[in-house]
């Protein structure tokens, strides 16, 4: 009897933990170059369709993706807020591409402000997600080696609705992390 009860408890735990993620997880990579900041927000098609709301296609087929792509491209700039000195950074380009395994990638390119700016990144899209949704953030410094394909992230952080901001500064010596909303211990050391 105890064995059956244990099996039931373990099964229930596995079922509830596996359904805790609903496909809205995301990855954000910020790649800092001397003249620009490239941001890629990668998530599932479910996330992209949620952004579209009532305009979302009924399925994830190729025809639906083709219909959704220009709409998502139009929404890409609204996913993040980039600012320096309280002023928004100039957006150079925004796009949405579909990747293998039903993923959508939003690609944004911002102009690098002049001087040695402090820059604030905010993942604005978290306001549209539930309080338990989170994503990974990676900051990559390519100011000294722009051709590096294997550059290790300068910093990593888990972002969520209550903590969706990351700040960094750019200068002659490269990129450095500045203020974070959460304590430095929240950085993922990987």
pLDDT tens digit at each of 190 positions of the chain: 554 443 444 333 333 333 333 466 789 999 999 999 999 999 989 889 989 999 999 998 999 999 999 999 999 999 999 999 999 999 999 999 998 878 899 999 999 998 878 999 998 888 777 666 778 899 999 998 877 777 888 888 888 777 888 999 998 888 988 865 544 434 444 4
What is the per-residue pLDDT for 24?
64
DSSP bridge pairs for 81? 122
DSSP bridge pairs for 126? none
For residues 141 and 34, is the Cβ–Cβ distance under 8 A?
A: no
- Could you please report the per-residue DSSP string of 132-153? T-EEEEEEEE-SS-TT-SSPPP
What is the per-residue pLDDT for 15?
35
Domain residue spans in the chain?
Answer: 41-186
- Triad 131, 135, 139: Cα angle to 5°: 135
What is the per-residue pLDDT for 126?
80
């Amino acid at each position: 009897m105890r064995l059956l009860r244990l099996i039931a408890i373990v099964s229930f735990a596995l079922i509830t933990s596996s359904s805790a993620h609903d496909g809205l997880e995301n990855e954000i990579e910020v790649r800092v170059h001397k003249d620009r900041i490239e941001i890629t927000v990668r998530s599932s098609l479910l996330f992209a369709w949620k952004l579209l709301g009532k305009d979302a296609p009924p399925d994830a087929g190729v025809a639906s993706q083709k219909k959704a792509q220009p709409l998502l491209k139009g929404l890409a700039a609204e996913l993040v807020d980039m600012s320096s000195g309280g002023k928004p950074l100039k957006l150079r380009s925004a796009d949405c591409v579909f990747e293998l395994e039903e993923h959508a990638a939003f690609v944004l390119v911002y102009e690098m402000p002049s001087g040695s700016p402090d820059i604030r990144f905010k993942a604005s899209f978290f306001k549209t997600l539930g309080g338990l949704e989170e994503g990974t953030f990676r900051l990559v410094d390519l100011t000294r080696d722009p051709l590096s394909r294997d550059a290790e992230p300068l910093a990593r952080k888990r972002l969520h609705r209550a903590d969706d901001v990351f700040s960094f500064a750019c200068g002659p010596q490269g990129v450095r992390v500045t203020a974070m909303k959460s304590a430095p211990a929240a950085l993922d050391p990987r």
